[in-house]
Structure 1
Amino acid sequence: MYYPDNNATIKLTGSPSLLMNNLSSSKADSLCYVRLDEVYLAKLSGECVKLPISKSKIYQASFIDLNGKCVLAVLSNLGVQVWSMYGDSMMFYFPLNSLLGFEGEEEKFVRGITAMRDCFGIGCSTGNILIFGCKDGGNFPLVHNLESEKAAITCLTSSSSLLVAANDLGKLFGYAINDAFEQTLSFPGYGSPCTTLCMRESLLLAGYASGHIRAFRTDILELAFEITAHTRAVTGLSLNYLNWGERGVERGSELASCSADQMLHVWALPDFRTNASCRASLLYTGLLENKMCTGVAFLSGERICVASYDEEEIMIFKKIK
């Protein structure tokens, strides 16, 4: 059971934009979000700092872990920038026009990012997925340019062995994380875009513009369960990284979902290694009155933070033992 911790609400300098996945947390409990053409870093202490970036149309800002080092990635119509976790120095910049050029009338952009063991991937509006190596410190060479259907990539996620991408058609594509990055699986669309992804081991969780959450088993290539979770688009999913696989702790995990329907839900996920039920159960529902949620993230200490459009605060929910 969770409850809103009004004493821990984080005040922001500017309100988050109405984007999908517009909240990300680091291992140090720092937060980042997009406001129009700006990116802000927020701390639980209340400090809020604007990243010194060039003006662009930003689609996502996210913390990722590269070889054990937390960094901040900014994805826009200009390309991808990788900054230090504190936003005080830019480590890498890849201009999108160096690969895709300026041809065509449709705007080109990058959206969706995930880190893997020796590389990270970003999605493109053209349907391409770019893989950058990160073995050599601050040098991030482009090592793969994967092609999928000609539909904009919306989000990416990965496990230790699999990279998964989703697109505006709602389709999901999986690639083996190896030297070749060959495609190994795909799941069809369900009539609406896939808006958010997360993954743990062989369980792939996808949120859709229809408000549904679908769980796929990537080991046996089937839909495990479906939840009619929200009445509007799912704008964020976050897995609870606490207690996963620790000695003496059940391997079940918690999933938080949010939406522009003003609702925060927390779900208990099943353990597919046992013969127990393969359905998710609802642990908590919270109404964020008059707040269009744009992103959700778990923090340490079994807390959940939620960002909302046009609201200059981030709400914190704490678990009751």
Structure 2
Amino acid sequence: MFEKVKDVPLPQGTVSPWPSNLAVCWLDTRNITYVAVIQSNNIHVGNWDNKAETEVSWDTIVTSEPSTPNEKVIDVTTVGLVHPNARNFPVVIVGSARFINVYDVKKISQKPLFSITLASALNDPKTAVGGDVAPYCRGISCNDNAILVGTHTGEIVVIMCNGDSNFTTRKNLKEHRSAIADIATCRYDEVTVSADSNGELIIWQKPVKGVNSRVLTKQPINVINVLRKQVIVGTLRGLVQYYSVLTGDLMCEVNAHARPVNSVSVAPESAYVLTASEDGTFVVSKLHTRKPHAYQVPRFQKVEYRFSDADEYSMIMGAQFTNGRGSAIATAAFDNNCLTMYKIVKKSNAAPSTSAS
């Protein structure tokens, strides 16, 4: 089904070992796909034309260097590519142990469009720094014009996009009681879900102001995504679970991987689901939501396996569909100096011609 088509070298360095370390945003109206990946304290942002199949063009965001010789470099811990409705192009969201920065994906500059320190973004100074957990950001999403960034305290920082270069903060969301693991939004249904390290899912009311429902998964959640009113959960044990947004019920679970699931990507047009893991495997499945009685026992009838590939010598930190159809995939593996690209290649069924005697 899928075949590897090429490796795309990074401008410098190798992929850092952060979960979900590959962000993707595609613009169907412009045939452009953007990608972003963390390399130490740098963020490499690439783009290409899907229709013309151009080569990837790279820019690099270099986060601030230490101000004193003895000061340590603070690694970036999360990166996101989101497209607020108030803008024509996406923005790059960079979160670290000290700050949250917003960059223009169209005009990459070392000066962010908006920046806020993590200590000032978190209202409680006791949890802003120190304590049992070191400060960090993790989980990035966007609903309408509200950009959401998860933190180690369980607070979700809300940054409002009011125009191309106008960003302001809004009151933090404080419903989680432990560190945020991931945040995801389905743009079509405007459903936003957040997950924390205790295994709790919060399904937010539109437009992300109050809690609609809570789901206690009792699983060590690492990553999540949302597709057609299903919350897809990737766990540290390699298990992939599907929960209903409407009822909170567990609808399906698959023992897909042998090690932590580091990425869950969805293709809205085809209802494909892509999961990838530290075990070097990525799996493509088809989610059936319109079949009658699809959730009856056995549960696996709901999710249909389509394709998988594995490299036992790699640890996949991020894997994403690079278009809405789910016909192309990019993967990023720890300590690798390139992105690996896959696409659906149609096989020719034409019989070989034979010469007449």
> Is 1:58–1:75's contact at 8 Å kept on the other side of the alignment?
yes
Once the two structures are superposed, the pairs formed by residues 139-158 of structure 1 within 5 Å of their partners are: 139-158=166-185
Query: Which residue in 2 is equivalent to 1:311?
Result: 336
Q: Is the 8 A contact 1:11 1:46 kept in 2?
A: no
Report the counterpart of residue 80 of structure 1 in structure 2. 100
The answer to whether residue 78 in structure 2 is matched with residue 60 in structure 1 is: yes
Q: For 1:124 and 1:139, how far apart are their aligned partners in 2?
A: 23
Task: State the 1:46 CA deviation.
Answer: 4.5
Shift of 1:191: 3.7
1:189 and 2:213 matched: no
Correspondence for 2:121: 99
- Is residue 171 from structure 1 mapped to residue 196 from structure 2 by the alignment? no
TM-score (norm 2): 0.81
The one-letter code of the counterpart of 1:78 is R
Q: Structure 2 stretches of 5 or more lacking a match?
A: 27-31, 49-54, 66-73, 296-301, 347-357
Take 1:289 and 1:108, find their aligned partners in 2: how far apart are those partners?
A: 33
2:91 pairs with 64, 68, 71, which one?
Answer: 71
Q: Which moved more, 1:8-17 or 1:134-143?
A: 134-143
Among residues 283, 295, 314, which one is paired with 1:291 in the alignment?
Answer: 314
Identify the match of residue 60 of structure 2 among 50, 55, 64.
Answer: 50
Work out whether residues 213 and 227 of structure 1, in 8 Å CA contact, stay in contact via their aligned partners in 2: yes
For 1:98, what is the secondary structure of its paired residue? helix
Alignment of 1:114-263 (within 5 A): 114-159=141-186, 160-178=189-207, 181-192=209-220, 194-241=221-268, 244=269, 253-263=271-281
Task: State the one-letter code of the partner of 2:218.
Answer: Y
Q: How much has 1:199 moved relative to structure 2?
A: 0.9
Residue aligned with 2:113, SS: strand
Q: Describe the superposition over 1:1-38 as per-residue Cα deviations: whole angstroms up to 9, x where unpaired.
A: 11111xx2101222111110000123122321111222
CA RMSD, aligned part only? Answer: 1.9
Distance 1:103 1:42 in 2: 33
Q: 2:315, 2:158 → 1: CA distance? A: 33
Question: Which one has the largest radius of gyration?
Answer: 2
TM-score by length of 1: 0.89
Give per-residue Cα distances to partners, 1:86-105, cap 9 Å, x unaligned. Answer: 42352111211113345533
Structure 1 counterpart of 2:68: none
Greater CA drift, 105-114 or 39-48? 39-48
Contact 1:161–1:176 at 8 Å: present in 2 too? no
Measured after TM superposition, the shift of residue 287 of structure 1 is 1.1
Note the alpha carbon deviations across 1:147-187, whole angstroms, 9 max, x for none. 13331101101234432111111211121123x71111111
- The whole-number CA distance in structure 2 between the counterparts of 1:29 and 1:22 is 16
Classify the secondary structure of the residue corresponding to 2:120: helix
Identical aligned residues as a percent? 19
Structure 1, unmatched stretches of 5+, are 245-251
Deviation track 1:230-257 (CA, whole Å, cap 9, x = no partner) reads: 000001111114xx2xxxxxxx510111
Q: Is the 8 A contact 1:270 1:277 kept in 2?
A: yes
User: Cα deviations across residues 285-318 of structure 1 (Å, max 9, x unaligned)?
Assistant: 1012411100011123711011000111211111
Deviation at 1:79, TM superposition (A): 2.2
